Structure 1
């Protein structure tokens, strides 16, 4: 349900960074708003009647500044100051903005991870020459602290449990292929293989849904980068749907429908599609074997949005007339009845082949065993791929 910040260019040049980040519970969002030379943090309160609260400080923010909303309505901000990464919490206070400094991190690179499931903590990734540090930058007792040191160069970042303890990272060791691993923050960063499609393939995890176990994956195992899907802890192979392969377009998933417990095939997935004509929306279900392509609402903060449990897709947008808005699209079954979006185009794909044998391996209680997702027996060609 989390949207990552994505830079886009506004037609009128008024907005330099239009990405927005949404909390795990969907209650708040934060972004950098304003003109190119006058950027300021802005917090959105989502819901039936969304509204935005500007959080400007004494000077404008740099374009590389990151903001992240917390579940209590405060906004974490990371700035580059005198060679350090300074971290603070921002909050509205009267007519102005309150700021609570948290400390600073000395690192060549520091990137905020997606909002943690608990809504109170915030983490950041600091890749180094031989290892990658995972920092707890908000929610700790004594300011920023390293909670894990993972061998290799790590990127990505997807939460795999609601406690905010198991984090999936895309890791590269010694110039080898990139493989997603499950990192246990409660054990100092103990890493367990998560994706092992082929020995030489780059296998990255893009999204994970905690209710159904649905995983969205990008891998070059089929010979070039393709979008695929699998199930966390399952013996079933990853699949690469042909309908998600669009010529001359980049397709990136950004939200998965929650609440489909143990039913990953029924989850609706929202995708950002980028092509020569701009950015637009795709909606797909593994069971449907169809990609619905839809025009995006005006001012969509491209690549941002979340699903409700009832299957309503919510897309944040900002225009001159509506500076803080959320467009909603109903997605019953596998057909779409857009509220604000029209001109749907459906692309179909071949009928699926039968799943190989194997049942899902789920842990008992709150403990889940994170096993690699296999693919040795899965089809890697378009003719055998299923939806």
Structure 2
């Protein structure tokens, strides 16, 4: 395992496609911003600039698709405009092609943001949130321009995919003074409870792995904001490991090891710590490994492989497009202990709704 010195994470957003094939970010400085696409599927990562005649605004959002095109969300006058960028490969003329996908009207008090890349690889969704309610828009992958696919009461944030088809989406909904994660079926628009640990607690879903069902969450139900984990569809209670308590209020899980079917305890989890640090952990272990992140780590992001390697993108003047690989160290043996049986209240196998604390 190679570990570099800790350095503050680069604030430039860096987004990796759901299948890990491509990534995208806004590169450049000041008034000379442009979209840059990274290819990650080959033996060595490389970057392709996608500049246009007019520089991009610093608050534009980018999202890579599995076919190599990059979706960009721009604020243009009184609209939120969406387009696909791609390299043309022409020997002369513009190096970047652009396909307009349409726009969503700007409204006072409505925040429009991109959701994480869809697992299907070709669709893209945006969230338009306000106190009056939240709309989920499909902005790419539909038969025509932006299309409303769901409406949710309350102001929603976050966004975690619960399946591999891109149909089930978890959102953190603020309603009646509390935040609860809900599941949204984008096929029919149905909304159902997902996290409800106590009536008054704020229960947010941070990350999910569809293969194993592992869910990473943050809740103040234990009396303070804590990181916890559970299993989608399981009758087992939510667990809040003591080893995660020190970082429970601020740490952000950003990658989970895939391919561990029915074995959530064995999944490697990568966490971004406050100040740009990095930590690795598994639910089966009672130990957190705090490690040095690579210099120039982009956006605090990364991708686990099914083989257990964590890949972290970074960019420095010497290495403008680099990926550092590391493995989860072996945890020290845990002391033998006998856990009490789960409370009887956890008998219903619902997706962590009203799951008791443990």
For normalisation by structure 2, the TM-score amounts to 0.90
1:41 paired residue among 24, 35, 44: 35
1:311 paired residue among 305, 308, 312: 308
Look up the match of 1:90.
85
Higher mean Cα deviation, 112-121 or 90-99?
A: 90-99
Look up the match of 2:165.
163
Instruction: Say whether 1:152 aligns with 2:149.
Output: no
Q: Give the direction of change, closer, same or farther, for the CA distance of 1:27–1:354 in structure 2 (3 Å limit).
A: farther
Partners of 1:41 and 1:354 lie apart in 2 by 53
Q: Give the direction of change, closer, same or farther, for the CA distance of 1:352–1:232 in structure 2 (3 Å limit).
A: farther
Count of residue pairs the alignment pairs up = 342
- How far the C-alpha of 1:323 sits from its partner, in A, is 0.6
For normalisation by structure 1, the TM-score amounts to 0.83
- How far the C-alpha of 1:207 sits from its partner, in A, is 0.3
Instruction: Say whether 1:372 aligns with 2:358.
Output: no
Q: Which segments of 5 or more consecutive residues in structure 1 lack a partner in the other structure?
A: 1-7, 11-16, 336-345, 363-368, 380-387
Provide, for residues 5-57 of structure 1, a one-character-per-residue CA deviation record: whole Å limited to 9, x for no partner.
xxx775xxxxxx52211111100000111112211111000032000001111
Contact 2:18 2:119 in 1 (8 A): yes
- How far the C-alpha of 1:370 sits from its partner, in A, is 5.7
Q: Which segments of 5 or more consecutive residues in structure 2 lack a partner in the other structure?
A: 1-7
- How far the C-alpha of 1:64 sits from its partner, in A, is 1.1
- How far the C-alpha of 1:242 sits from its partner, in A, is 1.3
Partners of 1:356 and 1:203 lie apart in 2 by 20
Contact 2:227 2:249 in 1 (8 A): no
Look up the match of 1:186.
187
- How far the C-alpha of 1:135 sits from its partner, in A, is 0.2
Per the alignment, in what secondary structure is the counterpart of residue 290 of structure 1?
coil
Instruction: Say whether 1:29 aligns with 2:23.
Output: yes
Provide, for residues 101-135 of structure 1, a one-character-per-residue CA deviation record: whole Å limited to 9, x for no partner.
01010133211000001000000000133211000
Look up the match of 1:62.
57
Q: Give the direction of change, closer, same or farther, for the CA distance of 1:248–1:114 in structure 2 (3 Å limit).
A: closer
CA RMSD across the alignment: 2.4
Report 1:121-270 matches (<5 A).
121-173=123-175, 175-187=176-188, 189-246=189-246, 250-270=250-270
Look up the match of 1:3.
none
Partners of 1:220 and 1:349 lie apart in 2 by 28
Partners of 2:339 and 2:217 lie apart in 1 by 20
Q: Give the direction of change, closer, same or farther, for the CA distance of 1:249–1:152 in structure 2 (3 Å limit).
A: closer
